[in-house]
Amino acid sequence: MPKIIVEVMPKADLLDPQGKAVANSLNRKGHTEITAVRIGKRIELHYDETPTEAQLEEAKAFAADFLSNGVIEDVVAVTVEA
Amino acid sequence: MPKIIVEVMPKADLLDPQGKAVANSLNRKGHTEITAVRIGKRIELHYDETPTEAQLEEAKAFAADFLSNGVIEDVVAVTVEA
Amino acid sequence: MLNKKTATNVDTTKEAKNTPDKHQPWKELGLKLEEYDEIKTILGRRPTSAELAMYSVMWSEHCSYKSSKIYLRQFGEKVTPEMTKNLMVGMGENAGVVDIGEGWAVTFKVESHNHPSYIEPFQGAATGVGGIVRDILTMGARPIAVMDQLRFGAPENPDTRRVVDGVVAGISFYGNCLGLPNIGGETVFDKVYQGNPLVNALSVGALRHEDLKLAKASNPGDLVILFGARTGADGIGGVSVLASETFDSTGPTKRPAVQVGDPFAEKVLIECCLELYKAQVVAGIQDLGGAGLSCATSELASNGQAGMRVQLQNVLLRDDSLTPEEILMSESQERMMAIVPKKDKAAFEAIVNKWEVEYSILGEVIKEPRLYINWGDEEIVNVPPRTVAHDGPVYDRPVAEPKYQKALNKNTTKNLEKAETPEELATQLIQIVTSPNQASKNYITDQYDHYVGGNTALAMPDDAGMVRVDETSSLGIAIATDANGRYGQLDPYAGAQLALAEAYRNVATSGAVPAAVTNCLNFGSPENPEVMWQFKQATAGLADGCLELGIPVTGGNVSFYNQTGDVAIHPTPVVGVLGVIDDVARRIPSGWQDAGHNIYLLGTTEEELDGSVWSEVIHDHLGGLPPKVKLQEELKLAQALQAASVQGLLASAHDLSEGGLAQALVESTTRFNVGARVFLDELEEKNKISKTAVLFSETTARVLVTVGREDDVKFVGLCEQRGIPITRIGVTDTEPTLEIQNIASWPLATLKAASEATLPELFA
Amino acid sequence: MKIGVVTFPGTLDDRDAQRAVRLAGGTPVPLWHADTNLHDVDAVVLPGGFSYGDYLRCGAIAAQAPVMQTIIEKANQGLPVLGICNGFQVLVESHLLPGGLIRNENQHFICRDQTLRVENTSTAWTNQFQLNEEIVIPLKNGEGGYIADAETLKRLEGENLITFRYVDVNPNGSMNDIAGLRNAKGNVVGLMPHPEHAVEAGFGPDMPEAMRSGVDGLKFFTSVIHSLVNA
Ligand SMILES: Nc1ncnc2c1ncn2[C@@H]1O[C@H](COP(=O)(O)OP(=O)(O)O)[C@@H](O)[C@H]1O
Ligand SMILES: [Mg+2]
């Protein structure tokens, strides 16, 4: 099924308590080489037909102002998967 | 910074209430060509040095049994980003 | 939206007649050969695969109560007219309904979601809450509160954390998101629940008398409408065998066994249903829970003594690949089925559209008591609905007293070493009040919203939860639930009565008048005669106890097959008692708020340590006989508390149960940081018991109260007049210290911190 | 005085907020998310709950609702708006207030009686409090951790926009102990704790004097009525 995939991460300089909790837990389990964990979202948008260039542009726009909150998050990728 | 990126999605057969709510909202805004939305996680593991093959294997293992819940989620990708 | 599957690979009734000898996977679906033969006799042919799906799930233990039915009957039989005069709906419906006066009624019920909560604790517990709330909604009521009764494995076992985390988060997620205050529950750790935690959830709802709804379809021509979430492949792992039989090449291979909940969808569904009720456009309504559409269609038709014609292709799907059998068995959450008169169709549609709830018309009610289900043009189900929903198999399974029972009962606490010195007693007291089962449950209950609605008068950690039902009159209800598996193991008959007595006492302690009972009977495998004996004893105990206390059982739930490997859990009959209070402002707090009050212990303390927390925590011992059941004394005590509450004589009341007097003293003082000086010598002498028993005995029919100086004479007189044993054991104090004379003295901050540290240390 | 209380699908504390308005002497007016008409209300409360399930981000989907477009416009013109918990999240997602709210530091939903300090009394919703008054208000949320970048925080502190701060315990890891904010004009106020759950003795938070007797939340609603009367 054709998709657009939007990836959103918490801003690098802001707190990510969930990532911190996971990092602590992995460190406790002995994975001490992991210095930090950040947890973001992977959002799949499904389409019946391969999305057009225009639809991709639209998706980039609503990824920036609805699927993410620019105050605390960054959109790190918007890609088409045919 | 070297990273391993783990991507986790809700299992296709199961309800994804979050994706459903976002799909409805996008449809209401006129993006009716979007047939469904699924929302998963994008987890970044940070390392000081580029992770080794062995560390990638380790990450794959704990991605499957700790970072995701196999009963309701699938790990869709585990990739190194140098 | 029609399903893309062509009707040609569907097993039709016509096909069933033509291929009588076709092999069917009845065994894989959990049916016995006799049951399969019985289905063939009913139908006069082999069932279609869709019919087989329906019968197998509706005749399962979970849906048909085939092993428990003959025992549950006594809840309806051991009653007096006085007991049932306020019952608007008794057992047998989704939930019982009790008239509480002023035109108000309440409905409440507790249900288990044990097995799903072990596989996937978060979703299992979440959907458990969702399911019980829909049962309450189905009666026409607005759900007003929830409670949860939880039992986990040993706290130190690493898997316990996974289950605790998931279950608590799931209940918190779903209940909070629905906007239902969580007003209480239970949390118990015991290794017998290691591979089989118990997750029971209770919901209570309120309705005006005229809003009562029943799950029945009786008027021919009325529409059958499915609304709410779409149907997907949830919770049908087991039916895959049918799919693979029917569609070996094209069909799906493995379906998920779990269900995922969407509390947001349920919240919208609640508001939508309440608006539909108000508009009076539904003639009957049923929630979809276990057994999904199989259950809803057959029960509605059977209850209404009518039939139904259904087009299964009209079901809105989340996933087009579902087979008809899977659609019939799907346990997708947040769905309801309404029976709507044709003239009300437009009004119905306007309301569901307003709430953006999806719906589809599946068919209509017919006069002939037969359920016809079509898949396109093909008939795939043609059955008498009663045979699916109500006339399932009934078993009188063998019972046998467990072989270990006599030895267990003989192994009393008599010879266990008892503390003598003040130091030893003080150490044991701290060990007990900080043990996981006795320690503060704040770590869990702080994750639950108890404020939403603005009507919560009492909640955790009070003895009972209490909510206001009517803002104008302040009419309210109180609920407490209890069960003690250790007592149940020692004596299941008494164990059930002790659970009842404690819940009853807790409700009375809050100032409410006990009015009705619900239960969730958690047991091992009914195929084990020893378990069946426990079940028989427990149900008899509960029914006899209710008769003696004069309050009816209005409904409940049975959960069998709770075991780790071959080892059954302790019998755990969770009993919920509902009380009514004319004015919630009159509620009695359990914590102490004022200094200078007299502290009284009501009731008599006996040397009863068998099965106690003391025997568990200090000696890791379980044996002997549980505390004596004293229902007549419970009755008198409840009436005295009631009278004292009406006269406003009580500053606080707290029931004594697990952990005995010591536990109650610590809870009452630490609650609001009001200290006490306590002297127990008189108790010891008067009751001729050991110091250990004074502190830790679990004798029933006891309550700890505090009374202001000005009410003292009156209150003591009231108790004496009613023959309630009363002993003054101390006085509350401004000093934030609990001093037990001749034993020890603790700063309250220390006690509180120690009690609150236990669960976070284990699970945070 | 007509005070609108918005109901989104998934809103939970709308009836509580209406009760609070009533107990303060105002007239509550229910507003529906799909409606753009505010029915001439004099002020608006965005109550708590899980609008649209709080999916994606808390308040994100609600911020797109038709009623919010009107509220944003009127708020910018000075209409008093109070966002409580989920309502605060909606205000943040609507950019009427800066920053963001993320999962509590301990990863759990938290329900507790919380002490707050009122650090700003020149708003439509806090003028009946004393400056630096400490009040007890129930807090209940899963995603109440306030975050903002360093520059925003500096501005909030510098311009005295932090209206409520947690006292004794910072329950959710909020930066600078922030429990609530106002906008520059003081007509828009948002906070995580729930004043509407502290308006009626017997059903409020525990207080030193007596169990469940706290009514500190009432002043939010008498404040707005006062400011409207004196407007
Ligand atoms: N232990 C019990 N005591 C009394 N009634 C019971 C008990 N178990 C089940 N029942 C009653 O049997 C009926 C069917 O129960 P159940 O299948 O749990 O209801 P539902 O179909 O709503 O889930 C209900 O009326 C329930 O109250
Ligand atoms: Mg039901």
DSSP letters spanning D199-225: SSTTSS---SSSTT---TTHHHHHHHH
pLDDT band for position D195 (cuts 50, 70, 90) = very high
Each residue of B21-49: pLDDT tens digit? 999 999 998 999 999 999 999 999 999 99
Output the CA C287–ligand 2 centroid distance in Å.
6
What does each C-alpha distance from A33 to B3, B5, B45 come to in angstroms?
11, 15, 10
Q: Please name the residues between 14 and 73 in chain B that touch chain D, using a CB distance below 8 Å.
A: 17-18, 21-22, 25, 29, 39
- Which domain does C673 fall in, by range? 432-439+589-764
Q: Inform me whether the C-beta atom of residue B73 falls under 8 Å from chain A C-beta atoms.
A: no
Least confident of C231-240, C428-437, C506-515: C231-240
Each residue of D98-147: pLDDT tens digit? 999 999 999 999 999 999 999 999 999 999 999 999 999 999 999 999 99
The distance of B77 to chain D (nearest Cα, Å) reads 22
What average pLDDT is seen over chain D?
A: 97
Q: Do B25 and D53 touch (CB under 8 A)?
A: no
- Asked if the structure places residue C310 within a domain, the reply is yes
Q: Which residues 6+ apart lie within 8 Å of B80 measured at CB?
A: B2, B3, B4, B5, B50, B51, B56
Each residue of C533-569: pLDDT tens digit? 999 999 999 999 999 999 999 999 999 999 998 899 9
Q: Please name the residues between 219 and 258 in chain C that touch chain B, using a CB distance below 8 Å.
A: 229, 232-234, 255-256, 258
Q: Inform me whether the C-beta atom of residue A7 falls under 8 Å from chain B C-beta atoms.
A: yes
The distance of A68 to chain D (nearest Cα, Å) reads 8
What is the rounded CA–CA span in Å between residue C290 and residue C279?
A: 28
* Structural domains of chain C, count: 2
Contacts of C288 in chain B (CB under 8 A): none
Q: Inform me whether the C-beta atom of residue B16 falls under 8 Å from chain C C-beta atoms.
A: yes
The SS3 call for residue C540 is helix
CATH homologous superfamily for the domain D2-229: Class I glutamine amidotransferase (GATase) domain (3.40.50.880)
- Token pair in block for residue D139: 């807090």
Each residue of C584-614: pLDDT tens digit? 999 999 999 999 999 999 999 999 999 999 9
Q: Is D85 a catalytic residue?
A: yes
Q: Is C62 a catalytic residue?
A: yes
Check residue C241 and give its pLDDT.
58
What is the rounded CA–CA span in Å between residue D193 and residue C293?
A: 42
CATH of residue C269's domain is: 3.90.650.10
The SS3 call for residue C455 is coil
- Token pair in block for residue C590: 């359990």
- Token pair in block for residue A27: 């460190």
Output the CA C135–ligand 2 centroid distance in Å.
5
What are C599's strand-pairing partners? C706, C730
The distance of D223 to chain A (nearest Cα, Å) reads 31
Residue whose structure tokens are 């404040």? D223
pLDDT band for position C254 (cuts 50, 70, 90) = low
- Asked if the structure places residue C580 within a domain, the reply is no
- Token pair in block for residue D172: 């959710």
Cα-Cα end-to-end distance for chain C: 48
- ipTM score here? 0.92
Q: Do A15 and D93 touch (CB under 8 A)?
A: no
* Structural domains of chain A, count: 1
Count the residues in chain B.
Answer: 82
Q: Do B40 and A39 touch (CB under 8 A)?
A: no
Q: Is D111 a catalytic residue?
A: no
Each residue of D26-73: pLDDT tens digit? 999 999 999 999 999 999 999 999 999 999 999 999 999 999 999 999
CATH of residue A71's domain is: 3.30.1280.10
- Please say which residue of C365, C392, C419 terminates a domain: C392
Identity of the amino acid at C275: E
- Asked if the structure places residue C523 within a domain, the reply is no
- Count of A-D CB contacts under 8 Å: 41
Contacts of D175 in chain A (CB under 8 A): 15
Q: Do A15 and D103 touch (CB under 8 A)?
A: no
- Which domain does B14 fall in, by range? 3-81
Output the CA C327–ligand 2 centroid distance in Å.
18
Percent of chain C with pLDDT strictly greater than 70: 96
Let me know the angle formed at the C-alpha of D104 by D98 and D109, rounded to the nearest 5 degrees: 125
Q: Which chains are adjacent to chain D, needing at least 3 Cβ pairs under 8 Å?
A: A, B, C
- Token pair in block for residue C31: 């049916």
Identity of the amino acid at D91: L
